[in-house]
Structure 1
């Protein structure tokens, strides 16, 4: 089996999963289903074909429920299978555009600070994309989810 790295963008719909060999994208999996409904099935299929070295995931901002679910799932995989985990914020995958938040607000990043703001924008054109190549140095070893919005709004 080939040793690969996974990039997982689960903070918006669709979920994006990139499979990388030697830091180059070799396959993409997308799903419009809820993260909780598909995450284990997707990884079950990946693990049948590959050995996963590292999972690189979006630790913020966006869907906090999805982020927490993914964190618990990949942390468990890390413990059971010895897989490394690294993280990056979601702005890395959408060209630093606003990310849909709660109650009509959007997450924006300015000078490394993530804020929740009211914006009047057409977010249909803001898409997340997997890079063709990854550089592990751009990802953090601090893997805890980052929650920007208050717990109760």
Structure 2
């Protein structure tokens, strides 16, 4: 498929929530969600197809992603793809922790453990009574939730 001219396609921003299944990707125009992608297959299969589709239909101005905590591999793949896109398209990459997209509910870790956020600190709680909150794409992109500190947030339990 030939590349479209940047002045013939709309400007957009992309948000990727790839910390667990399903993978959620939202496309935002003027800060409003205009397209939603939800995929249950592996991030390594789903995200390249979504990025390819978006790349030729929109002029991406910025990328945003949930940097963790969550599935180590899903976070790693999401980061590598988002960072690569950011460099290739010369656009900024911003990140936020995943709690911003699940109403600050516990996030499944390993076994009966959960990641929890309390007083701004993320820890693993092995006694958490809460059930993981599901993730959702916001209808409006709140850029204040994100920072340029965009390296993955890996919180791994001791083995």
Q: Tell me the distance in 2 between the aligned counterparts of 1:45 and 1:134.
A: 20
Aligned to 1:136: 143
Asked whether 1:57 is paired with 2:61, we answer: no
Show structure 2 runs of 5+ residues with no match: 1-8
Offset of 1:144 from its aligned partner? 0.5
Equivalent residue in structure 2 for 1:91, among 92, 96, 99 = 99
Q: How much does 1:2 deviate?
A: 0.7
Counterpart position of 1:13: 21
- Partner residue, 1:79: 87
Gaps of 5+ in 1: none
Superposed CA RMSD in Å reads: 1.2
**SS of the residue 2:44 aligns to:** helix
Secondary structure at 2:147 match in 1: coil
| Residue-by-residue CA offset, 1:34-62 (whole Å, 9 max, x unaligned) | 10111111100111100111111011100
**Equivalent position SS for 1:48:** helix
Hey, what does 2:3 align to over in structure 1?
none
Gap change, CA 1:122 and 1:109, over 3 Å in 2? closer
Correspondence 1:23-34 to 2 at 5 A = 23-34=31-42
The structure number with the bigger radius of gyration is 2
1:113 is matched with which residue?
A: 121
Query: What CA deviation, in whole Å up to 9, does each residue of 1:98-125 have, x standing for no partner?
Result: 00111221000001100001224444xx
Deviation at 1:74, TM superposition (A): 1.2
- Note if 1:145 corresponds to 2:152: yes
1:23 deviates by 0.7
Structure with the higher strand share, 1 or 2:
1
Stretches (4+) displaced over 4 A: none
